[in-house]
Amino acid sequence: MSTPADTPSRWPLRQVIAALVAGVLMLLGGFLMGRLMVPSAAQTPSTDSAEAGFARDMQTHHQQAVEMALIIRDSTQNEAIRTLAYDIATAQGQQAGQMYGWLNVWGLAQASTEPPMTWMMQPTQGGAPHEMGTAPMTGMEMPGFATPEEIDALKAATGESADRIFLELMIAHHAGGVEMAQAVLERSTNDVVTTLAGNIVRSQQSEMSYMKDLLAEI
């Protein structure tokens, strides 16, 4: 169980600075990768395309995953969960940077004038509309996106209670992320976008299975 000295508000200044620097480096690395991986000959997506909408909304989705992962990483006493949280924060921070880089290369704004998730209502390549799955639609109407109250509960919890809340929220969050990635795979032929989306589906499905095993052990 954590002690008051373990809480973020009591961290030494050097730890806070180190955490901020690490976050910036993750995003910068992903941003540079995103720029390098966009083929110059590829057709540039339009601002209202599924590719652009996915890049914007999945950045937001990933950023919340990083936030939750960092919360539990610094409070849990469970080494398996701490390692998992670090992996999630690192991978999703880098992927968010990649998607930021795409929009930059495409000459598109990072924010859209349309409501979040509008792109998921576009027809698929086969002409069918998207059917929303079973992942909870909360917060910003994104699948699996945790509410502010759920984030506050995670911050306030300690010990195994915090571990349980984190795993439950992250399992739902990953399910939503998989749904979003599958949706863009149904709507895009852009190799850069579909490659990352496919990686997201595979990695997050694997992590969901692992998190369910960890949850069963608590």
Q: Which residues contact 67 (CB under 8 A, 6 or more apart)?
A: 151
How confident is the model over 118-171, as pLDDT tens digits? 999 999 987 655 555 444 443 347 999 999 999 999 999 999 999 999 999 999
Question: 5-56 pLDDT, tens per residue?
Answer: 444 444 454 554 455 545 555 555 555 554 545 544 457 999 999 999 999 9
Tens-place pLDDT, residues 77-93: 999 999 999 999 999 99
pLDDT at 31: 53
With beta carbons less than 8 A apart as the criterion, state whether 140 and 56 touch. no
Burial class (CB in 10 A: 0-12, 13-18, 19+), 54: buried
For residue 4, pLDDT beyond 50: no
CATH C-level class of 4-217: mainly alpha
If you average pLDDT over residues 111-117, what whole number do you get? 91
What's the predicted TM-score (pTM) here? 0.77
